[in-house]
Amino acid sequence: MFHLAAGRVGSLAAKRATAALSTSSARMMASHGHGTGDTHPPFHQQQLLVSALDKLRQDDRKRFRQVSTAVDMSKPLYTDSVDVPLPDRPYKEVLTDADKSLKQKEKGPWNQLSKEEKLALYRLKFLKTYPEMRHSTPEWKTVLGVAFFFLGLTGFVVWWQKVYVFPKRPRTFEGDWPEKQLKRMLDMRINPVQGISSKWDYEKGQWK
């Protein structure tokens, strides 16, 4: 009976432990969920959102930098591409009342729309125009500059190594040692067929 009680107590404790574990893991899962305001989206999604080329749309660029929600990749995305003139969704999907009334006006004759209204309708649907898409950036200067900088840094490191790290050169490189070494090689007839001794004229005592 004692064993049975212990068994029952044991199982109760085990049940409590699993319950505690499941709630903590559920809380962990919830905190990793997307769509809440205080979680950071993964870096590659941030990269999608931050358009480094978008110098011309200051307000939109600032809006990108303040993004705190993750992108839902299961829904159609907006993209600016010269190959795809009409993206999967309009750029602005959340419309203000002014936008909505403009959209209503769009249902009527377009001759009645002013130039500014037509432009506003365009900008509601698209972020960049074709010239803006095609516009080059000076990014290449930054890339080249940083590459040269690191090459220069490497050069500095190599020089510093030469001065402070490498040991002294062997004595076989100094003074008249190389000359004497060469003379000895020629006297020994090193590589006489096609190598160094074949290039030496032994009668005249000079190179051929």
Q: Which is nearer to other proteins, 112 or 206 (CB)?
A: 112
**What does the binding site for other proteins look like in residue numbers (CB under 8 A)?**
56, 82-88, 90, 106-107, 109-113, 115, 118-119, 121-122, 124-126, 129-132, 134-135
Q: Which is nearer to other proteins, 135 or 184 (CB)?
A: 135
For the bound state, the minimum distance from the C-beta of residue 50 to other proteins, rounded and expressed in Å, comes to 21
**Residue in 149, 139, 117 with CA at minimum distance from that of residue 52:** 139
The CA-CA-CA angle for residues 164, 166, 170, to 5°, reads 135
For the bound state, the minimum distance from the C-beta of residue 44 to other proteins, rounded and expressed in Å, comes to 25
For the bound state, the minimum distance from the C-beta of residue 60 to other proteins, rounded and expressed in Å, comes to 16
> Dihedral of the CA atoms 50, 52, 56, 62 (nearest 10)?
40
Helices 115-125 and 97-106: crossing angle in degrees, nearest 10, is 110
Q: Which is nearer to other proteins, 130 or 156 (CB)?
A: 130
For the bound state, the minimum distance from the C-beta of residue 156 to other proteins, rounded and expressed in Å, comes to 41
Q: Which is nearer to other proteins, 37 or 138 (CB)?
A: 138
For the bound state, the minimum distance from the C-beta of residue 34 to other proteins, rounded and expressed in Å, comes to 26
Q: Which is nearer to other proteins, 40 or 100 (CB)?
A: 100
